[in-house]
Structure 1
Amino acid sequence: MKLDMGRAWDQTTAMIGKSLPLVAIVAALFFFLPNFAFGVLAPQGVPGMENPDIAQDPEALMEVLGAYMGQVWWALLLLILFQYVGQLGLMALFDGSRRPTLGEALSTGLRMMIPFLIAGLIMNVGLVLLFTVAVGIGGVTGVVALAVLLGAIALAAMIYISIKFVLTGPVMAIEGTANPIAALKRSWRLTKGNSARILLFLFLLGLVYMIASIVLSMFALLFGLMGEQIAIVAASFVSALTTAVFLAVFSVVLVAVYRQVGGASETGELEDTFE
C-alpha cells in the first residue's frame, strides 16, 4: 500500500486527540523531565570550545569532545534509555489489536528498550562503516573530487538505509518482535515502495520542529537579561518542551505510517481503531 501522507497525519492527530492525557503523561515523564534535568544539571557547553584554535585542529577538537563525553556519557545514556521507553511505550499504547493500558504499554517499552538499543547500534555501526569505507577509498586515490563524490553517495545511502529501518520501533512495540535483526528486516520489508514518501513526511515534520525550536529559543534569549542561571533554566525548558512534543508526535506518526504500509492488516487489525 502506498503511503498517503495526509491520511497518516489525520490518523496521528486523531490518535493523539483521543488519548491526549496519556500522551501528555508519557511525554512529560520520559521526554520533558529528563531533557530539562540534563539541560540544567549537565556542564554548560564543551570546555575549551571557546578557543578558536581548537576548532581548526581536528586532534585537539576530538580531545576536547572526548573529555566532555567522558563527563556526561552516563547521563546521555540514561536520557536515551528514558526516551526509548517513552517512545516504545507510546507506540505500544496505540496497538489497536491489544488496546493496552498505559502501564502495560510502558511495560512493553521497558521490555523492548534493550533490543531497540541493540538494533540502533547495529544500524549506526553499519552506517558509520559505510561512510568511513567510502571516504577512505576516495582518500586513498588522492582525487578530491572522487572523495567528495563517494562521500555524497555514502551520505545518500545512509539516509536511505535509515528510512528503511525507521519502523523498527513500531515492529518491536506493536508486534512484540524482540529480535533486533528480525525487527530490522521487518521494517525493511514494510517500507518497500514507500521510502521516498516516508522520507518526505519525516523531513516536513523535522522542518516544523526546527522552525518551532528556533522561534522559541529566540524567545528564551530574553531571559538572558535576568541573569545567567535564569537564562540556562529558560533555554533548557524551551529545548525540553519542544523535544518532548516532537518525540511524542514523531512516535505516533511512526505508528500511523506503520498501519498504512501494512502493519495493521498483517497483525490482524482490520480497521483503524481511531477512524
Structure 2
Amino acid sequence: MKFSYSAIWDDTVALIRAHGSLIAALAGVFIFLPSLLLAYLLPQPVATEPGQLIALMSEYLRANWMWLLLENLLNMIGAIAILRLALHEGSSTVAGVIGAAFALLPFYFLASLLSSILIGIGFALLIVPGLYLVGRLTPLGAVIVAEDRRNPIDALRRSFEVTKGRGWAIFGLVLVVAIAGIIVTVVINNLFGALFLIVAGKDLGLFLTLVLASATGAAFVALLATLYAAIYRNVAGGSSAKVFQ
C-alpha cells in the first residue's frame, strides 16, 4: 500500500471518531491522572541559577525514580490499551482492552527499552541514524499489540520489516504531527494558565494550570498512539476498514 500522509491522518481521525469516548477514558485513567498526581505531589525542582538545573534534576530523579517508573508503566498501559482498541475489532469495552494491556505490558516494556537503546546508539552516531531509527521503530508498539508478538526481538524485526523503504517518510509524518501538537499544547497551556492565575489567584490558578497541562499532555499521547496504529495499518497492508485480528 502507498504510504500517504493524508490517508494515514484520515484513518487516525476515523479511529478517534469511532472510539473517542473509550480513548478519552483510557487516557484519563492511565495518562492524565498519573501525570497530574506526580506533578502536584512531586513537583520538579526550579533552578534559580542555570548551573543548578542538572544537579537538582539528578537529585530529583534519584529520590523519585520509583514513582517516575510507575507513572511510565501506567502510561504504557494506557498506550497499549488505545492501540488494542484501534487494532482489534471486538475490543469495545474498557475492561477488555485494559486486561489485554496488562498481559502485554512486560513485553511492550522490554521492546520499548531495546528500542530506546537502539535509537540512543543511533543518536550517538551523528544524530541522523537515530532519526532514521525513530521512523523504523515507530510502529513497534502497534506490531506487538496487533500481532500479539511477545518476543521483543521478533517485534523489532517485524517493525523493521513493515517499515522497509519508509523510515524517513514515517519519521517526517511523526515529526510534523509532534511539532504541531507541541505548538498547540504550549499555546493552550500558556494562554489559559495566565488566565487561571488572573481569575483564580496564585494557589488555585497554579493547580488549574497543572490540571490543564496534564489534560493536554494526555490528549497528545492518545493522539500519537492512535496515529501509530494508523501508521501500522498502512504499512502492514491495512486500511481504515481493515482490522487486524
| Aligned twin of 1:165 | 137
1:71, CA displacement in angstroms?
Answer: 2.1
1:272 aligns with 2:242: yes
Query: Structure 2-normalised TM-score?
Result: 0.89
Distance 1:107 1:167 in 2: 21
Deviations 1:10-34 (A, max 9, x none): 1111111112211111111111111
Distance 1:263 1:171 in 2: 12
The change in CA–CA distance for 1:263 and 1:110 in structure 2 (over 3 A counts) is: farther
The change in CA–CA distance for 1:122 and 1:230 in structure 2 (over 3 A counts) is: same
Q: Structure 2: state its 5+ residue gaps.
A: none
Distance 1:24 1:53 in 2: 40
The change in CA–CA distance for 1:20 and 1:216 in structure 2 (over 3 A counts) is: same
Number of aligned residue pairs: 240
| Aligned twin of 1:4 | 4
The change in CA–CA distance for 1:130 and 1:27 in structure 2 (over 3 A counts) is: closer
The change in CA–CA distance for 1:52 and 1:24 in structure 2 (over 3 A counts) is: closer
Distance 1:105 1:171 in 2: 16
| Aligned twin of 1:140 | none
1:80, CA displacement in angstroms?
Answer: 0.8
The change in CA–CA distance for 1:263 and 1:243 in structure 2 (over 3 A counts) is: farther
| Aligned twin of 1:29 | 29
Amino acid at match of 2:49: N
Match of 2:208 among 234, 237, 246: 234
Match of 1:251 among 225, 237, 242: 225
Distance 2:122 2:9 in 1: 33
| Aligned twin of 1:42 | 42
Deviations 1:8-65 (A, max 9, x none): 111111111112211111111111111111121113x326x2124435xxxxx3x432
1:212–1:242 CA contact under 8 A, matched in 2: no
Match of 1:111 among 90, 103, 108: 103
| Aligned twin of 2:52 | 54
1:100 aligns with 2:99: no
1:79 aligns with 2:71: yes
The secondary structure found in structure 1 opposite 2:150 is coil
Distance 2:18 2:121 in 1: 43
1:116–1:180 CA contact under 8 A, matched in 2: yes
Percent identity (aligned): 25
1:208 aligns with 2:186: no
The change in CA–CA distance for 1:187 and 1:263 in structure 2 (over 3 A counts) is: farther
1:181 aligns with 2:159: no
1:131, CA displacement in angstroms?
Answer: 4.5
1:89 aligns with 2:66: no
1:90–1:106 CA contact under 8 A, matched in 2: no
Amino acid at match of 1:46: P
RMSD of aligned Cα (Å): 2.1
Deviations 1:45-104 (A, max 9, x none): 326x2124435xxxxx3x4322111222122111111111111111111224x4223222
Distance 1:185 1:46 in 2: 40
The change in CA–CA distance for 1:17 and 1:53 in structure 2 (over 3 A counts) is: closer
2:193–2:206 CA contact under 8 A, matched in 1: no
1:2–1:193 CA contact under 8 A, matched in 2: no
